[in-house]
Amino acid sequence: MSIQEPTYTFENLPIAGVDAGTNLLVTGPALGGIRELTLRMLLRRHSREGALFVAADVDGRQTLTDYQALGGDVDFARVGVVDCTEEGADDDSCNVHAVGSPADLTGAGIEFSSLYERIHANGASRVRTGIYTLSPFVVYAPAKSVFRFVHTLTGRIRVADGLGVCAIDPGTVDDQTLSSIAQAFDGKIELRESDGRRKIRVRGLPDQPDDWQPVEFEH
């Protein structure tokens, strides 16, 4: 008999808890707070949760620095980064594994699987995975390859009862590409600025606020 796992929760964000195995697409302008929103959704709530980042815009070490600045608990046995930036470099001291380019989706997938398994083996019962952002992958790799990459990662997260949070700036991709990518996700978190305030709206998930909710950002 299986035991129902508790939901993933998001402290200080107007987003209700979601079921294990949920994948969320976060959309919004790159300079509008989407990075902070994504990192805050990945904050570990207890020591048995792990966190895995697939970094394409900002290198792995900076990603961890930004995560810590927002209150992220960095236990390198249960936290790691697949660094897909061109400036990335392996750093075993903080569990960063470099791929070399957003174009190397095969390498990114291999490193993701290896690191995901390692984090679980080190005692994380569940893992929060963040992709920031998908935009460089779309620029550097063929669209079909990106779709397969996204479907593979979200499928792995779903089977493992993880949480997937994937960010993309809608202004960097065409509508058809965005629509195709969105099919791999269970719901969407939309971010916008209105009347000088940033607000988010949840789409596609049950038991969530259905209107725009204000959210405070530190940066």
DSSP string, 65-123: HHHHHTT----TTTEEEEE-STT---BGGGTEEE-S-TT-HHHHHHHHHHHHHHHHHTT
DSSP letter for 101, please: -
- Residue 127 falls within a domain, yes or no? yes
Per residue in 161-210, pLDDT tens?
Answer: 999 999 999 998 999 999 999 999 999 999 998 888 999 999 999 999 88
- Residue 76 falls within a domain, yes or no? yes
CATH number at residue 80: 3.40.50.11570
In this prediction, residue 114 carries a pLDDT of 97
The count of structural domains within the chain is: 1
Separation between Cα atoms, residue 184 and residue 178, nearest integer Å: 11
Separation between Cα atoms, residue 72 and residue 79, nearest integer Å: 10
In this prediction, residue 4 carries a pLDDT of 52
Higher pLDDT, 2 or 139: 139
Residues contacting 3, CB < 8 A, separation 6+: none
- Per-residue pLDDT band for 91 (boundaries 50, 70, 90) equals very high
What mean pLDDT, rounded, does the chain reach?
Answer: 93
